[in-house]
Amino acid sequence: MSKVKDLEHAQHSIEQFTFMLPNLHLLQGIEEALAVPEPVGDPAAVRARAQDYAKAAVSFAKATTDLSGVATNQLPAVWTGSVAEHATQAVHAMSAETTTSKDTLAEAAKLLDAWANDLQWAKSTDAQGRQQLHDAGELARHDPAGFDQGARAAALAGVGVRLAAARRAESCGTSTASRLNQLASKARAARAGNGSIDPLAAVVLATEKNPGAGEDGDYILTPNQLDRANQVLGVMTGSDQAAFRALLSGAKSPEESAYLWKALAAGHSVADIQRFDAQIHPHGDDPTWLAQHLVPATSTEDTQRESSDNIDVTYQGQQVNIDGYGVYSQRNVSDCVAASTVIAQAKLDPLLMFQLTTGGTPDVPGADSPQNFEQRLQETYLGEYKDGQRVDGNKQVYPKVDAGLGAKAQTYLADKDLGRATGADYEHVDLENDEDRRKALTRIEKSVDEGLPVPITVRNEDSGHQMMIIGRDGDRLQIYNPWGFTSWVTEEQFVNSQLGGLTPGEHPLNKSTALELPK
């Protein structure tokens, strides 16, 4: 049990009394409350570490300024053509990496400083509560067989003070650890450089982002993909390594290189990646084209939106409706599990998204039109839906049967599609109450920080629906709904079954009842 639970139990013991030896029972409750350890930690040591991080952030700020100057106007004049272009890309990447390091260290310093203050308050307050309990015990010991209302009131006050301190310490410790874990996931260049790639190339790859333009403007490679690509490259045969490195060296831009790495991380062979690159290479120096055809625009950086503010997913920078449905929508078919899984996989696998957007013929006029994209998407949704129905044991499948998918099929599709693209094994986890949901948060946070999507089932009294947790910012979770939009919700909304804003209508689905979690 946690200290909070132990103190709540002691508080309950103190609140209860009998007319037989009440002070003796009160003393037992006081001893139970005093047996709970004080908040752990050294505020001075935490504050000292915060100061170290703040000093390091200042050093990185100076390096960022220096590198920015070099990148913009201080490269040697004799460097021209591709030499200057590659040098500029490298210096810009180093500048971006030092900026990230500066911001990360500064944020960590603030978090640790706030934690030190909370911990100091908790320890000081806890000491006050302990003293109140000791004083209450002294009063009760004067007459163990009697009943001292003053002693009981003092004991309740003391345990109440200790509870407030324990709750603050537990809450600030948990939230600080969560935020620091998220900051740690930003150490991207080190992960890319842990394998057989040179450090400078690792920095360039790790810092590449999509250009936005209505698409997902986040990093092209997730932390998990940086690790996975390096691992795959490290065990390749010499000929495959040489072939893949030739693709990288021939890329027209860092973005093109990053998508090749993304394809490698998604589990594709070098031969498949060669065919893929042959098709995207003519557009390799057009980052916007690459983003619009190789990644679904499921993300938004607008983390301050409330859960009732659903952000429509765009295609090629435009909000597209076909027959009254958004281009990504599952339409009126009960294939939400398949639809959410397909889009989450497409976000991880550029070859899949490329086939969906172009049909493998990117330069055929109209091949990447919204109508053709939507048709391929619906066909893929339905193919996965039927596959899941068979796994669930249905002898007849869509369109004869359209009743959604069960837990067995949900796990199967997560393993088959998301597992292939990430290397993770997924397991079904039921969420029966708020405590289950709170316990699951740590695993959810770890997964999405690494770039591993987490399928989530929500329900009301009559029906259920699967969506996908695809990211987080502090205590907010980003959730993609296969109705064709993305939303941000707080973790407390997730825990307390307040997710109705994600499924607007007469009968919103408030309660999260299950997850498919990476093991």
Q: pLDDT per residue over 380-436, tens digit each? A: 999 999 999 999 999 999 999 999 999 999 999 999 999 999 999 999 999 999 999
Q: How much of the chain, in percent, has pLDDT values that exceed 70?
A: 86
Contact 360, 354 (CB under 8 A): yes
pLDDT band at 215 (very low <50, low <70, confident <90, very high): very low
With a cut of 70, say whether residue 190 has pLDDT above it: no
Structure tokens that stand for 501 in this block: 């804003």
CA distance 137 to 469: 51
Lowest mean pLDDT among 302-316, 325-339, 382-396: 302-316
With a cut of 60, say whether residue 75 has pLDDT above it: no
List, in order, residues 6 or more apart from 379 with CB less than 8 Å away. none
- 56-70, 215-229, 252-266: range with highest mean pLDDT: 252-266
| C-alpha neighbours within 13 Å on the C-beta side of residue 100 | 20
Q: What is the pLDDT of residue 73?
A: 60
CA 50 to chain centre: 25
Contact 455, 443 (CB under 8 A): no
Nearest to 105, CA basis, from 69, 169, 62, 45: 62
Structure tokens that stand for 11 in this block: 């508080």
With a cut of 90, say whether residue 201 has pLDDT above it: no
- In words, the CATH class of domain 311-518 is alpha beta
Query: How many C-beta atoms surround the C-beta of residue 308 within 10 A?
Result: 12
Q: 170: burial class by Cβ within 10 Å (0-12, 13-18, 19+)?
A: middle
Q: What is the pLDDT of residue 86?
A: 57
pLDDT band at 78 (very low <50, low <70, confident <90, very high): very low
Q: What is the pLDDT of residue 361?
A: 95
Q: Give Cα separations from 112 to 72, 171, 385 (angstroms).
A: 35, 14, 47
With a cut of 50, say whether residue 353 has pLDDT above it: yes
Lowest mean pLDDT among 23-37, 245-259, 302-316, 461-475: 302-316
CA distance 486 to 297: 9
Q: Give Cα separations from 274 to 148, 230, 240, 278, 295 (angstroms).
A: 84, 18, 11, 6, 19
The mean pLDDT of the chain is 87
Q: What is the pLDDT of residue 283?
A: 96
With a cut of 50, say whether residue 276 has pLDDT above it: yes
pLDDT band at 149 (very low <50, low <70, confident <90, very high): confident
Q: What is the pLDDT of residue 63?
A: 77
Instruction: Kindly state the average pLDDT of the residues 22-39.
Output: 90
Q: What is the pLDDT of residue 391?
A: 97
Model's pTM, two decimal places?
0.81
With a cut of 80, say whether residue 247 has pLDDT above it: yes
Residues forming beta bridges with residue 454, ordered by sequence position: 469
pLDDT band at 142 (very low <50, low <70, confident <90, very high): confident
Grouping H, G, I as helix, E, B as strand and the rest as coil, residue 465 is strand
With a cut of 70, say whether residue 311 has pLDDT above it: yes
pLDDT band at 214 (very low <50, low <70, confident <90, very high): very low
With a cut of 60, say whether residue 84 has pLDDT above it: no
pLDDT band at 212 (very low <50, low <70, confident <90, very high): low
Instruction: Kindly state the average pLDDT of the residues 154-181.
Output: 91
Complete DSSP assignment for 323-338: TTEETT--TTSS-HHH
Query: How many C-beta atoms surround the C-beta of residue 109 within 10 A?
Result: 21
Name the helix (H) or strand (E) containing 40. Answer: none
Tell me the pairing of strands 464-473 and 454-459: antiparallel
Name the helix (H) or strand (E) containing 142. Answer: none
Tokens 């070099």 label which residue?
70
Instruction: Kindly state the average pLDDT of the residues 487-494.
Output: 93
pLDDT band at 207 (very low <50, low <70, confident <90, very high): confident
Nearest to 453, CA basis, from 488, 491, 492, 479: 479
Q: Give Cα separations from 88 to 80, 85, 91, 258 (angstroms).
A: 10, 5, 5, 17
Domain spans in the chain, listed from the N-terminal domain onward: 43-184, 195-283, 311-518
More confident residue, 79 or 509: 509
Q: What is the pLDDT of residue 265?
A: 94
Q: What is the pLDDT of residue 203?
A: 67
